[in-house]
Amino acid sequence: MATKWYDTHLETSQTSKEFERSGRANTRVVLLTDDAGNRAKAEAEGILVASATDYVKSLEEFPLLVDKLSHKTFDNEKQALPQYPAHLSMKQVLEGLRLKKLLQGAFQASRENYLEGSVNVETYEKGILIQGRECLNRAVDGDLVAVELLPESEWSAPSEIVLEEKNVYADDVPSEERAEEEKDMLQQVQQAAAATSAERTPTGRIVGIVRRKWRQYCGILQPSLIEDTNRHIFVPADRKIPRIRIETRQAAKLQNQRIIVTIDTWPRNSRYPLGHFVRSLGPLGDMATENEVILLEHDVPHCKFSEEVLSFLPKMPWSITSEDYAKRVDLRDLFICSVDPPGCTDIDDALHCRELPNGNYEVGVHIADVSHFIRPGNALDQEAAARGTTVYLVGKRIDMVPELLSSNLCSLVGGVERFAFSCIWEVDKEANVINKRFHKSVIKSKRAMTYEEAQVLIDDATQQNEIAKSLRQLNRLAKILKKRRMDNGALVLASPEIRFQVDSETHEPLEVEAKQMRETNSMVEEFMLLANITVAEHIAAEFTECAVLRRHPKPPPTNFDPLVKAARYQGFQVDIESGLVLSHSLDKCVKEDNPYFNTMIRILTTRCMMQAVYFISGSLQKEEFFHYGLAAPIYTHFTSPIRRYSDIMVHRLLAASIGADSTYAQLLERKSNEELCHNLNYRHKMAQYAGRASVGLNTHLFFRGKEEDEEAYVLFVRKNALQVLIPKYGLEGTLYLKTDKEGKDGVERTKSEIIFTFNEEDHTQRCGNVVFHSFDPVTVRLSLDSSNVQHEKLVFRLVKPYIKGFSVEPSADADNPPTKKTKKDVKKKN
């Protein structure tokens, strides 16, 4: 009726001279609707009407728009028999859940095996295992699904087989032959699971979809065998996502491009979901394109800040006013300094230490006062809350707040007056806290240093200036604080971390090295921990129901199984009864002939841990506030408000508690704050994954076109592979004991009949006289396999110990260190 009214209105206006001059004479209104009944009524009323598809297809000047149409079916689709069971209706699902015949949870697809996944259900610690195409029943990673538990006699165990789907083409009709092949594969998976000593886990089948969590996916088009076809298979970059059938008329143009595709539907008779092309990102392998893929795949908000958001920034030039000084404590005369990684421009924190007349020390942690510039509820605040965290990729930073704040007005740069939120203690010579105070302040950092510069200053005894003396006292007190934490059961964990030197013009990695840790790293960490704990105690006492805190749950005992077994095979007993006894156990895991052994044990321990999460104090009992890794009864994040929104929330609570700022309704509203914490936990996790993906991408770029022999250690021994770690680069990878056939006796054989025997009892691999245990030293050759343009991977091949027919020959220059890439080399290659 609205269309009819508008059409009539325009028709009566046709005669007016203004209308003719506007060039809109003879204009008709078109109603677009996919509702067939609506179209029939419109036609009866004489209204110009079309479906969205018909209208887009009529636009002959824009033929490529058809690619972007949502597809419920494909034109002239060959009818195929159903491949999947029908989903239950929503009414049936809800009834099944109510009667507890069905269970509900989020589906997680396997990266290694396309016929396997699991559903996280609250009542099952390890979730419910799903195996086989029919049981997976068109669920996509992240979907909220309804699951029917199988009888216990049909339960299985997760397989250790890596199973990748063979190429199929968009016009293929699923054949009986392929269905049989898949059944054989599933039998292999289940037989492999049955053959292991692994405990069978609850297994089920997906019977309905409660809520889809489809998104836009990055990937590439699979080259088609058929010329001039519009139907193609899209291969997502994320191995957990199934391939997607799309129609496009620009396949030739999109080859070797990263593109985005979205899913529209997944009918029972289609092997894959149906979707449509959204847009191209750029050429495969291009650094900007690959970074864009990482950000999109990890759901990192990275668009430019909107004009509305930027409108809430301070107007430049900005300066501190006399009113500002009157409201704050003036600390500009203190010898405050910051210590950060090289190249850091978003400086959140600074420190000072001075001796008091009574012989005690005044120690201050001064944190950028970001909440002064970001007021609650405005567009800038909402954008920061949605982003949740700054994301760090190699050579690139995606800010949580605009650069004017992150790298300028909030950053505690040297020699410039800045607003800070200060946490100041009086401590005795043994680092016992005598008293504490919090206040908004004005500071003027005397120097912004790197960890290395601060370490040199501490170590140089000839340096007796105030900054040097302050740093030495801070370092001495930090060692006492750290020992006290360790004695209370705090864990010293490890993870392999690497650092890249990146070319400023090409953004390609010039050099890669393991990150170095100095005493100054630990010094800064100790005082940040002390500030976070001190603030947590204060806000939890002031706001018992709505304080923003951070907890680290104790892992279930089963999480420690790989660690306990690996240590036992090496003759060490790891006790996991509490954090304290675990910490003491880890300290004892030392081998004189293997200095890296203790680090590897701690890397394994890190993998056993649960994820630390933000929560609201009123939602849990006090005993659940505990932070397992830090052995702290209560903890929060206060020290990094430039890059974490949680810290801004904590600043607001602290400011309200000391009367430095006013409170507001949402600050004290538990439900809305719980929703914010849920988003922060998600964003924090995605930021970590994006960072790791960026390290992986740059590692591949660094090793492209070269081979290196490196010393390594075996981290895990698996059924068909060794998981190895290279200390020099902090790199981890898989050295496959590849096989082409399996004998009837179950022994795996390579082409040259090299026999590898896996012993499940002590987790070793034997080949002749060579036995591989966890933590054994090996030499491996690193190279990059680029045969799969979508998934380039580092290949690890064995050099030593030498196994004839399996190991590669040592390179002639194995003893010569590789030369560094220079900017000149990179430009020459480009």
The predicted model scores a pTM of 0.82
Bridge partner list, 219: 236, 259
Give the number of other Cβ atoms within 10 Å of residue 123's Cβ.
9
Helix count (H) and strand count (E) of the chain? 22, 35
Task: Say if CB 189 and CB 159 are below 8 A apart.
Answer: yes
Q: What is the pLDDT of residue 266?
A: 94
Looking at the structure, do residues 719 and 699 belong to the same domain, yes or no? Answer: no
CA–CA separation, 718 and 200 (whole Å): 19
Looking at the structure, do residues 130 and 206 belong to the same domain, yes or no? Answer: yes
Q: What is the pLDDT of residue 356?
A: 95
Looking at the structure, do residues 668 and 718 belong to the same domain, yes or no? Answer: no
CA–CA separation, 13 and 7 (whole Å): 10
Give the number of other Cβ atoms within 10 Å of residue 590's Cβ.
12
Looking at the structure, do residues 162 and 23 belong to the same domain, yes or no? Answer: no
Q: What is the pLDDT of residue 813?
A: 53
Q: Which three-class secondary structure state does DSSP give residue 393?
A: strand
Establish if 818 belongs to a structural domain.
no
Looking at the structure, do residues 202 and 331 belong to the same domain, yes or no? Answer: no
Establish if 566 belongs to a structural domain.
no
Establish if 390 belongs to a structural domain.
yes
Looking at the structure, do residues 694 and 788 belong to the same domain, yes or no? Answer: no
**Residues 6 or more apart from 36 whose CB is under 8 A from it?**
none
Looking at the structure, do residues 661 and 722 belong to the same domain, yes or no? Answer: no
Establish if 205 belongs to a structural domain.
yes
Q: What is the pLDDT of residue 189?
A: 58
Task: Say if CB 646 and CB 652 are below 8 A apart.
Answer: no
Looking at the structure, do residues 8 and 132 belong to the same domain, yes or no? Answer: no
Looking at the structure, do residues 506 and 378 belong to the same domain, yes or no? Answer: yes
Looking at the structure, do residues 635 and 772 belong to the same domain, yes or no? Answer: no
Looking at the structure, do residues 338 and 379 belong to the same domain, yes or no? Answer: yes
Establish if 807 belongs to a structural domain.
no
Q: What is the pLDDT of residue 798?
A: 92
**What tokens does 131 get?**
């195996």
The CATH number of the domain holding residue 197 is 2.40.50.690
Give, as one character, the DSSP assignment of residue 644.
B
Q: What is the pLDDT of residue 818?
A: 43
The CATH number of the domain holding residue 772 is 2.40.50.140
Establish if 817 belongs to a structural domain.
no
Query: In 217-233, which positions are buried (b, 16+ CB within 10 angstroms) versus exposed (e)?
Result: bbbbbbebeeeeebbbb
Which positions of the chain have pLDDT values less than 70?
14-25, 74-80, 160-164, 166-198, 496-508, 510-514, 738-753, 789, 811-830
Bridge partner list, 265: 274
Bridge partner list, 274: 245, 265
Establish if 365 belongs to a structural domain.
yes
Q: Which three-class secondary structure state does DSSP give residue 600?
A: helix
Establish if 104 belongs to a structural domain.
yes
Among 266, 277, 116, smallest CA distance to 182 is for: 116
Task: Say if CB 587 and CB 653 are below 8 A apart.
Answer: no
The structural domain count of the chain equals: 4
CA–CA separation, 244 and 218 (whole Å): 11
Q: What is the pLDDT of residue 506?
A: 64
Decide which of 703, 728, 759 is a domain's last residue: 703
Task: Say if CB 562 and CB 609 are below 8 A apart.
Answer: no
Query: In 607-631, which positions are buried (b, 16+ CB within 10 angstroms) versus exposed (e)?
Result: ebbeebbbbbbeeeeeeebbbbbbb
Bridge partner list, 725: 713, 732
Q: What is the pLDDT of residue 191?
A: 63
Decide which of 10, 39, 58 is a domain's last residue: 58
Looking at the structure, do residues 661 and 714 belong to the same domain, yes or no? Answer: no
Decide which of 683, 703, 723 is a domain's last residue: 703
Q: What is the pLDDT of residue 747?
A: 40
Q: What is the pLDDT of residue 113?
A: 83
Domain coverage including residue 19: 1-58
